[in-house]
Structure 1
Amino acid sequence: MIKSIHLLMVGAIVLLPYFGIAQSETNDKKPNIIFIYADDLRFDGLGANGNRHIITPMLDHMAAKAVRFNQANVVFSLCSPSRAALLTGRYGSANGVLELGSDLNEGELTVAEYLREAGYHTGMSGKWHLGKEPKTLGFDFSVFFKGNGTYYGRTINDEGDIKKVERHCDLYCAERAVDFIKHAAKKETPFFLFHNTQLPHMNGDLIWDARKETKRKYRVSEMPVAKSRLDDLSGKPEYLKSVRNRSQAKAYGYPDSLAIQKHTLDYYSVITEMDDYLSLLFKTIEELGLNENTYVFFMSDNGWMLGEHGFTSKVLPYQPSTQVPLFVIGPDLKPTDLDHLVVNIDIAPTIMELAGIQLPENLHGESLFPLLKKEPVDWRKSFVYEGLGTYGGALPNLTVINKEFRYIETFENSSLETVIFQEFYDQKKDPLEENNLIGSPGIQAKVVAAKELIEAHINKVLKK
């Protein structure tokens, strides 16, 4: 029986100390845990999530066996902050990472450190985008490249050996992740692998550089086009007309539909290559017979805009930017679709609970364990998106997201003292987020409730 106490706070659920799970009480072997974090993969970047145009056979095959979360989001849509949030189970304003490449505050602990302390053999492979290196943050094994760059000829730190690798960086790191799994599977101790792809993130030249044979699998004319691509932004903050998401989109040829289709073909092509490289991990798990005692998570660090509102990229608090794929495969988990509102800060507490680790009181996330096991739980109805980084010229914003509406407060500066713009979108009637309803009489009670959640977040997370 799971014994946990939950406290609702700031539209999220904070776990109080956890007192043990049946697995550790019966001395069963603790499960292996593999977490795969894709980069810039939007929610519909998988065939399994309803996209009939994209080719992702392996991920679709695995998703068919999984618990699939259809309302998964990140608490800030940017590479480094998303990784820090996932590893700590805490918001960026608390863990210290709000910008690219910045570092965790002193005293912040990662899920890898907790797992290693609990006897796990820990490994990290692929993209690394935090200041401190993996081995200082709890990883016994690490094969990584820093930040973003070329796909081929990338400099990779392979267990301290710095080498220039001519083949695709994701392929190399997937092969080394397989090496880790094979080695770890021979040990008496359980293992944890944190595998990060660069794909489908662009390469250093800001292009999706897929192989020609991969691109030939697609046709430009069949690529979808965002319905809101011609949005004049009249219901959105004025500064968004010149923010990087808009100016870079124009450089790509947006909002021209053909330009978007060509760009989408390139994006889908590198996702197909990512799918192929990740198949090495999934096949290894099956070949070694690890399925019976291994949980595998697949998620993305943020979404990606392909012409929605005339934008490219991420960061901004709109649905294509914040929503991500998430599925989990594991022992005794039944394939199912869940619509619970979950976020990336939920991953650390989930992994710790699976490993039988007492959950720290300072976590902002909620363990997904009861959802995975189909146990009754009073789950969050809303969460606060913390858009406080400055990447691309975005102004600070705090957003309340739930399945009913999205309420955005944009602030004048980082002091968060003056709100300069408000947005309210009905997520059911207006899923494209084109019609800002601020000022409409029928939504005032919801706006008041959302503002209270933001104020609570400021007081209990930002000022704590």
Structure 2
Amino acid sequence: MNKRRNVCVTLLSLFFLLPLCHANDTKPNIVLIIADDVNWDDIGTYGHPTISTPNLDALAKRGMRFDAAYLTASSCSPSRASILTGRYPHNTDAEQLHWDLPTTQVTFSEKLKNAGYWTGAAGKWHMGEAIKSRFDMVRESYYGNGSLTGAEEWQNLLKLRPKEKPFFVWLAAWDAHRPWVPEETNLPHQHSQDDVVLPPYYPPTELYMNDFVHYYNEISRFDKSVGELVKLLEVQGVADNTLVIVISDNGRPYARDKTTLYDSGIKTPFIAHWPKGIKNKGTSTASIVSVIDLAATFVELAGAETSSSFEGKSFAHLFTDPSLNHRTYAFSERNWHDFEGHGRSVRSARYRYIRNNYNDLPATPSGDTVYHETWRELIRLYDAGMLNEHQARPFLAPRPREELYDLKNDPYELTNLAGDKQYLPILQTHRQVLDNWIIESGDFIPSIRTPDDFDRRTGAKLPVRQRPRPMKKDMYGEGAY
């Protein structure tokens, strides 16, 4: 009698546990992989003819490629803080480079954690110590502890996760951030100068061509890390119901790309792979998405509670129908990054509008670019009068207050149409759209300017000066234009 009663109790228990088990089986695992300083079109699947990225190309072929995905900042830590919080950089209180993300901010990782997910992060961190508590495990890699790729702990993290829970992991690479490691021989592919496709705003010197070779090699190394990670998901038997998204935090680490508001700074590669969830494999979508939408998308797919602080919106519907419209505009901002700067941009399907609020300052690139020999080469050529107007743009001061580009006819954003009367209606529309976003998002111009960290020409480190958090008092409003 007791045996029969125990069997009944066991069966009854299993009956009530079945919905929970089923729920865990249907909740997708989520893997977010972030490259460092990799341009959106420096990947094979986006049309680059020579860069070796077989693993990323295969992910896109088996999944979905997003052709109009944009970052909120072309700057490492502000971009990452924006992604994690689902907020525009100026609302994260971490909009300047190397500002820690405050614990007052809500992150999507904690929402997933509350919904029963195991959450982990590995690789480059760059958002401060305090916010690590929003993950169950963080295994940080950086140059100082011997990391070359930032991917050394990715696989260990997946091996350490509890197997009975759905999981979310944030995997961040160092590749392709400077400094390069050109002496390394254990690379998946060795590129040559014959592989280099140089944008027209770079001088085609021997130094630039060789430097791009090293940049390409690091992209291939990132591709190898992604491939090894996906293989481990397959070995663990979880690949079918794991959504893998691969993006970059900003554009390539050269003048005129990283820290700018052009597509080469703000547009990101965006590849999604999810065998169980993407209806039509090998598709692409032209619908505009912003990385600010990742938080809302992840909590929806996980069945987690959302946060009123999230400013993005879920694009989960694109996985079943990539032809649907998601956004009409994507917004991006430029704040302090080694050098003072303040600008805002809106991107539509065809046009980009940029507003340079500190247009008295030149568009000096990031510090890791300015202390590199390619910058010294650029200065030498500029002083000798050997650069054309596009190659010399990082030295221009004052800059135009407004910039407007037709990306269909001018993909490198070389011809500013803001002063062309023919484009005045388009300019006015984008002005108004940006003004509306500024008001709706509570954007602001800082009450004080932040001092530069380096000399803009020599790259020499300047005396350490405190960077106080500026008051948010100089608000935008109607009548800015």
TM range (shorter): 0.7 to 0.9
Does residue 222 of the first structure (1) align with residue 195 of the second (2)? yes
2:76 paired with 1:86 = no
1:366 aligns with 2:313: yes
1:158-307 alignment runs, 5 A limit = 165=146, 168-173=148-153, 177-184=154-161, 186-203=162-179, 207-209=180-182, 211-212=184-185, 214=187, 217-229=190-202, 255-304=203-252
Distance 1:24 1:386 in 2: 43
Contact 1:349 1:363 in 2 (8 A): yes
In structure 2, the residue corresponding to 1:361 is in which secondary structure?
coil
- CA–CA separation in structure 1 for the residues paired with 2:440 and 2:189: 52
Q: Deviations over 1:397-423 (max 9, x none)?
A: 111111211111111389xxxx96111
Equivalent of residue 422 in structure 2, options 442, 447, 452: 442
Letter in 2 for 1:53: T
| 1:332 equivalenced with 2:277 (yes/no) | yes
Instruction: Kindly state the Cα deviation for residue 145 of structure 1 after the two structures are TM-superposed.
Output: 3.1
* Structure 1 residue 463 displacement after superposition: 4.8
**Residue aligned with 1:172, SS:** coil
Total equivalences in the alignment: 384
CA distance in 1, matches of 2:63, 2:189: 30
Report the TM-score when normalising by structure 2.
Answer: 0.74
Q: Is the 8 A contact 1:210 1:273 kept in 2?
A: no
- 1:384 is matched with 331
| Post-superposition offset of 1:378 | 4.4
* Distance of 2:408 and 2:340 partners within structure 1: 26
Higher relative contact order structure (alpha carbons within 8 Å, sequence separation ≥ 6): 1
1:403 aligns with 2:349: yes
Unaligned runs of 5+ in 1: 1-22, 156-164, 230-254
Residue 393 of structure 1 aligns to a residue whose secondary structure is: coil
Query: Which residue of structure 2 aligns with residue 242 of structure 1?
Result: none
> Partners of 2:356 and 2:266 in 1: how far apart?
16
Report if the CA contact (8 A) 2:188-2:220 is conserved.
no
| Residue 49 (structure 1) aligns with | 46
Q: Quote how far apart the aligned CAs of 1:76 are.
A: 0.6
2:413 match: secondary structure:
coil
CA distance in 2, matches of 1:376, 1:278: 27
Return the alpha-carbon distance in structure 2 between the equivalents of residues 435 and 463 of structure 1. Answer: 28
Corresponding position of 2:138: 142
Contact 2:261 2:332 in 1 (8 A): yes
Instruction: Give the letter aligned to residue 373 of structure 1.
Output: T
Distance in structure 1 (CA, Å) of the matches to 2:156 and 2:345 = 42
CA contact (8 A) 2:123 2:151 kept: no
The alpha-carbon distance between structure 1 residues 377 and 403, as it changes in their structure 2 partners (threshold 3 A), is: closer
Q: 5 Å matches for 1:427-438?
A: 427-438=407-418
Tell me: CA distance 1:51–1:139, structure 2 relative to 1, closer, same or farther (3 Å): same
**C-alpha contact (below 8 Å) 1:395/1:412 kept by paired residues:** yes
Which amino acid counterpart does residue 33 of structure 1 have in structure 2?
I
Q: Give 1:373 deviation, angstroms.
A: 1.9
CA contact (8 A) 1:383 1:402 kept: yes
Shift of 1:226: 1.4
The structure-2 alpha-carbon separation of the partners of 1:378 and 1:217, relative to structure 1 and needing over 3 Å to count, comes to closer
Residues of 2 paired with 1:302 and 1:197: CA distance? 12
Amino acid at match of 2:60: A
Shift of 1:213: 5.4
Check the 8 A contact 2:122/2:151 in 1, yes or no.
Answer: no
| Cα pair distance change 1:188/1:460, threshold 3 Å | same
Aligned-residue sequence identity (percent) comes to 28
Change in CA separation of 1:142 and 1:392 when aligned onto 2, cut-off 3 Å: closer
Contact 1:215 1:266 in 2 (8 A): no
* Residues 1:110 and 2:57 aligned together: no
- Note the alpha carbon deviations across 1:369-401, whole angstroms, 9 max, x for none: 0111217754211122112x1224352111111
Indicate how the Cα distance of structure 1 residues 361 and 441 shifts in structure 2: closer, same or farther if over 3 A, else same: same
Q: Give the counterpart letter for 1:397 in structure 2.
A: G
How has the CA–CA distance of structure 1 residues 378 and 169 changed in structure 2, closer, same or farther, with 3 Å as cutoff?
closer
Alignment deviations for residues 27-63 of structure 1 (CA, whole Å, 9 cap, x no partner): 4632211111111111122112111211112222222
Whole-angstrom CA distance in 1 between matches of 2:257 and 2:219: 16
Q: Compare CA radii of gyration and give the structure with the larger one.
A: 2
Question: Could you say what the CA RMSD is over the residues aligned between the two structures, in angstroms?
Answer: 2.6
SS in 1 for 2:164: coil
Q: Deviations over 1:148-192 (max 9, x none)?
A: xx3xxx32xxxxxxxxx4x6353422xxx32332333x5322111
Residue 262 of structure 2 aligns with which residue?
Answer: 318
Distance in 1 of aligned mates of 2:60 and 2:72: 23
Contact 1:371 1:377 in 2 (8 A): yes
Contact map agreement 2:199 2:412 (CA 8 A) in 1: no
Find 1:39's aligned residue among 32, 36, 40.
36
